[in-house]
Structure 1
Amino acid sequence: MRNFGFGSNDENDDRDDNGNENNGNNNDPFGFGANPFGFLFGGQDGQGGFGQPGQGGQQGPGIGDILGQFGAMLSGFGRDMNSPDAQGPVNYALAGRIARQQISGAAARNPSSHDSQAVAESVRLAELWLDESTVLPAGATGSVAFSAEKWLEETMPRWRRIIDPLASKLGDATLDGLPEEAREQLGPMTGMLSQINGMNFGMQLGHALGELAKEVAISTQWGIPLADSTVAAVATARLDDLSKKLGAERRETLIYLAAREAAHLRLFQHVPWLVERLILDVEEFATGLSLDNSALEEATREFDPESMGDPQKMQEMMERLQNQDLAPKIVSSTDHARIRLETSLSLVEGWVDYVVGEALGNRLPTTASIQAAWSVFRDSDQPGMSALARTVGIDLSAPKANQAAELWSRLTFAVGKERRDAVWNHPDFLPVDSDLDSPAEFIDSILGETEGKDFDPISEIEKLERELNKGEDDSSDGDSDGDDADK
């Protein structure tokens, strides 16, 4: 797989599989607008008829046009069904198509050479400043400005690693939720249901990834390197929008993003176990996933067949059901894995918050306000991550990043940056969830270890022996001087 920026952009990046312009239609996975059958009535707005002029003065499609468009729709549907990316618990061919169709406006713009140069300069500057706030050396091997579509391309392999175990377990849970008689009657059609589940997940995931692609600002934005790359990547198309949200100038926003990206890569490159640990937490969480259908079951129990003959009661029942959320809830018996993942992501984001704040604080006067605005953005302004959570039951948010930043700050004050960064040497050394709420005990334990390392019992014994021997020597010298005087 190419790293960010290595390899030319496809000249037809903004076209779909049929070579048509991609206009970013959010509700059009097959390229036929909001109503895929609108062409049967003389256009997508349903006006006109077979061979008759529509109200807008346009000639309606003939039967050949109708069959051609219908065949094109089925062809696209068939490609998504038969693509190698359609195999497994998620139809990634469909997910990718839907995600790409949501990218429009500024997010669809490809970066210029000027953008790439600005990112390179900002990363170089950030690396120099970060050297003073962490002992971890630089981890970025290059830099690049990237587009939303490029981000989708580069991150899809890791998304598959993260999503597959979750979708697979939820797909099994969907089939397990069917009555036993229904499962027996399905028999060989179970495979078809699995494909339907795969397409369902593909559609939902596509919408979530499309939202995330429009929100992404740096490749490590969610505390995990979604792109398998050591290149510091910044989405320059997001700078204007983010500058407004962060209350900063465009140049300041770019430097801040470059510093966050560079800090993440230092951590991921020099803490080799970290990325795998995060993904294993997702996989462990997936093993306990199931669907809670209690809301639907409760509504079914309240259903009275006799009310079907009474329009008034039927209307009341429909209004009551309309106000209820009857969708299955995703639950997990391994929720401890989710908590551990959230804690790890919070520790990553909190560490980045602190070292970036230290690196930029004396050099960029607006750093404190940018940090505060970024925290709000991270916690409440990312609908794509919320959509992902609704789809597969877990997101990559860092809910205690602020507490983690405070822990790293206090730990640095207590033991210094060298001992602070040494906490990343092994997963067992890291704080746990409760430490983020009450960090004093964890900091005391690290402080005790540091003080204990200053005490070397062998060295102290040898020092005591030298002092004793010196005392004896001094005593002997005194006695000798006295004897000489007597003589």
Structure 2
Amino acid sequence: MSNGFGFSFPHNGNGDGDGDNFDLGDILNQFGQMLSGMGTSMNNRAEGEAVNFDLAARIARQRIGEQPAASAGDATAVAESLRLADLWIDEATDLPTSPAQPAAWNAGDWLTHTMPMWKRLVNPVAEHMGRAQLESMPEQAREMMGPIAGMMNSMNSMSFGMKLGHALGDLAQQALTGTDFGLPVAPQGTAAILPHNATAISKDLGVASQEVLVFIAAREAARQRLFTHVPWLVERIVSSVEEYAAGLEIDTSHLEEVARSLDLESSDPQQLQEKLNELQGMDLSPRIGTRNSLASSRLETLLALVEGWVDVVVTAALSDRIPSTSQLTEAWARRRATGGSAERAFANIVGIELSAPKVREAAELWRRVDVAVGTTRRDAVWDHPDFLPTAEDIDSPAEFIDSLLDDAPDTSFDEELAKLEEDLRNGDDER
């Protein structure tokens, strides 16, 4: 008797199937044989990893398919665009140029080089999600799961790896840089741009490819300055993801309410059918949340502040030099706001939002700070995480700006003293 998963339940030997004796040992043995038949590579996961990243990488590469490698011309264009963008950005920020080396990637390169950071971000989420799923089960079910816990962990690892592979494969075909959306997934010291993907954007917008490439390079160069000269920033982003993951929990209360509303012992079949019809339009999937909602909010705020700052710096650096800057900025904002299928899939899989919902508001905050206290004081806000605006400051920046004005050094006394000394010197000269 097949169960649809490639192995069968044993019969009692009489051939008619009546009074079947289900032997758990035989079932598990067949289940194990089925898994081993999938291939050693599919069950290959590193010690301590909750995700089969080897499987994820294989599936992602299948989705990417064959792509031409970045050419020498691509590498030259990327390096020159980054160099030019850096020269212009020098006028828009006090943060110095990053020593990050330019790199021209295709989608496969992006997958290879960003995988180590995806492991850091995704593994704790998968690990705690598996734990939350187990904790959401009734105690009796957890006890029954004991003998096959290791097998279920392998299955969860494979399932997570398959979903992650699909999402990363799609992301690789949409990515423009190694730090899209303010998330530093490229290796430290690498300023990467994907020229092939940038060319697709150029065609869609009807903007010269060189202008698009310089615009993308400017955003990458600005982020690299932040990630290089604000040493706590990358770890702060990663720790926010880890803290979010540690508090994951699965809420099934809505499913319990549905179960209570179904009167399965009712003698009225019509009433039962009506209840079942109501369920067809309902979302019956478990709801994933976290006890550490502040970590999720902090991650969104950090990404918004990074991208908002980049918006302000790049606009100031490029507006008078590239005619399509405003069009490209608006297109980037739409891309960030709407996201693609890959971003949504990734968020559904691991609960990490790649885009921040308040980038425009964060950019407006940085613009007002620049006007109020100047570029030097604006960039000094990145000196320590405690100096950064909060989510509330992004919504209502007036109080934050007032605090910067209050902290500004009072130069009136120094100016008066210098004037007095000058007057005294002039008086001595006259005498």
Give your verdict on TM over 0.5: yes
Residue number among 442, 454, 478 corresponding to 2:411 in the alignment: 454
- CA distance, structure 2, for counterparts of residue 217 and residue 90 of structure 1: 26
Q: Is 1:80 the counterpart of 2:80 in the alignment?
A: no
1:422-478, Cα deviation, whole Å (9 max, x unpaired): 11101111111111111122112112222x34256xx589779979999xx9xxx9x
- CA distance, structure 1, for counterparts of residue 384 and residue 121 of structure 2: 23
Conserved? CA contact 2:186–2:192, under 8 Å? no
- What amino acid maps onto 1:295 in structure 2? H
Q: How many residues align?
A: 401
- What amino acid maps onto 1:265 in structure 2? Q
Q: Is 1:373 the counterpart of 2:335 in the alignment?
A: no
Q: Is 1:102 the counterpart of 2:33 in the alignment?
A: no
Using a 3 Å threshold, how does the CA distance of structure 1 residues 235 and 463 change in structure 2: closer, same or farther? closer
- CA distance, structure 2, for counterparts of residue 314 and residue 115 of structure 1: 64
Residue number among 303, 323, 345 corresponding to 2:262 in the alignment: 303
- CA distance, structure 2, for counterparts of residue 463 and residue 374 of structure 1: 49
- What amino acid maps onto 1:90 in structure 2? V
- CA distance, structure 1, for counterparts of residue 203 and residue 254 of structure 2: 42
Conserved? CA contact 2:262–2:272, under 8 Å? no
Secondary structure of 1:351's partner?
A: helix
1:248 maps to what in 2?
Answer: 207
1:422 maps to what in 2?
Answer: 380
- What amino acid maps onto 2:158 in structure 1? M
- CA distance, structure 1, for counterparts of residue 374 and residue 415 of structure 2: 25
- What amino acid maps onto 1:294 in structure 2? S
1:358 maps to what in 2?
Answer: 316
Provide the alpha-carbon RMSD of the alignment.
3.0
Question: Matches of residues 319-330 of structure 1 in structure 2 within 5 Å?
Answer: 319-330=277-288
Question: Matches of residues 104-253 of structure 1 in structure 2 within 5 Å?
Answer: 104=65, 108-253=67-212
For residue 147 of structure 1, report the CA deviation from its aligned partner. Answer: 1.2
- CA distance, structure 1, for counterparts of residue 322 and residue 291 of structure 2: 46
Moved over 6 A (4+): 460-470
1:68-97, Cα deviation, whole Å (9 max, x unpaired): xxx99965543221x244752111122112
For residue 273 of structure 1, report the CA deviation from its aligned partner. Answer: 0.6
Conserved? CA contact 1:109–1:237, under 8 Å? no
Segment drifting more, 387-396 vs 241-250: 241-250
Using a 3 Å threshold, how does the CA distance of structure 1 residues 464 and 351 change in structure 2: closer, same or farther? closer
Question: Matches of residues 399-438 of structure 1 in structure 2 within 5 Å?
Answer: 399-438=357-396
Question: Matches of residues 251-400 of structure 1 in structure 2 within 5 Å?
Answer: 251-306=210-265, 310=269, 316-400=274-358
Using a 3 Å threshold, how does the CA distance of structure 1 residues 143 and 460 change in structure 2: closer, same or farther? closer
For residue 276 of structure 1, report the CA deviation from its aligned partner. Answer: 0.6
Segment drifting more, 84-93 vs 385-394: 84-93
1:21 maps to what in 2?
Answer: none
Conserved? CA contact 1:86–1:198, under 8 Å? no
Using a 3 Å threshold, how does the CA distance of structure 1 residues 244 and 189 change in structure 2: closer, same or farther? same
Segment drifting more, 121-130 vs 293-302: 293-302
- CA distance, structure 2, for counterparts of residue 136 and residue 322 of structure 1: 56
TM-score, normalised via structure 2 length: 0.85
- CA distance, structure 2, for counterparts of residue 200 and residue 178 of structure 1: 19
Secondary structure of 2:124's partner?
A: helix
Conserved? CA contact 2:222–2:310, under 8 Å? yes
1:90-127, Cα deviation, whole Å (9 max, x unpaired): 1112211222221147xx33221111111111111111
For residue 357 of structure 1, report the CA deviation from its aligned partner. Answer: 0.7
Using a 3 Å threshold, how does the CA distance of structure 1 residues 370 and 247 change in structure 2: closer, same or farther? farther
- CA distance, structure 2, for counterparts of residue 415 and residue 424 of structure 1: 14
1:480 maps to what in 2?
Answer: none
For residue 343 of structure 1, report the CA deviation from its aligned partner. Answer: 0.7
Unaligned segments of structure 2, at least 5 residues: 7-32
- CA distance, structure 1, for counterparts of residue 77 and residue 423 of structure 2: 67
- CA distance, structure 1, for counterparts of residue 59 and residue 47 of structure 2: 14
Q: Is 1:439 the counterpart of 2:386 in the alignment?
A: no
2:22 maps to what in 1?
Answer: none
1:361-397, Cα deviation, whole Å (9 max, x unpaired): 1100110111011100111032222112211222121
Q: Which has the larger radius of gyration?
A: 1
Using a 3 Å threshold, how does the CA distance of structure 1 residues 120 and 466 change in structure 2: closer, same or farther? closer
Percent identity between the two aligned chains: 46
For residue 307 of structure 1, report the CA deviation from its aligned partner. Answer: 6.2
- What amino acid maps onto 2:359 in structure 1? A
- CA distance, structure 1, for counterparts of residue 204 and residue 385 of structure 2: 35
- What amino acid maps onto 1:331 in structure 2? G
1:89 maps to what in 2?
Answer: 50
Secondary structure of 2:356's partner?
A: coil
For residue 306 of structure 1, report the CA deviation from its aligned partner. Answer: 3.9
Secondary structure of 2:81's partner?
A: helix
Conserved? CA contact 1:165–1:283, under 8 Å? yes
Using a 3 Å threshold, how does the CA distance of structure 1 residues 461 and 455 change in structure 2: closer, same or farther? closer
- What amino acid maps onto 1:403 in structure 2? E
- CA distance, structure 1, for counterparts of residue 35 and residue 172 of structure 2: 25
- CA distance, structure 1, for counterparts of residue 46 and residue 308 of structure 2: 36
Conserved? CA contact 2:182–2:223, under 8 Å? yes
TM-score, normalised via structure 1 length: 0.75
Using a 3 Å threshold, how does the CA distance of structure 1 residues 133 and 463 change in structure 2: closer, same or farther? closer
Conserved? CA contact 2:264–2:272, under 8 Å? no
- What amino acid maps onto 2:318 in structure 1? L
Secondary structure of 1:379's partner?
A: helix
- CA distance, structure 2, for counterparts of residue 448 and residue 306 of structure 1: 71
- What amino acid maps onto 2:339 in structure 1? D
Using a 3 Å threshold, how does the CA distance of structure 1 residues 231 and 463 change in structure 2: closer, same or farther? closer
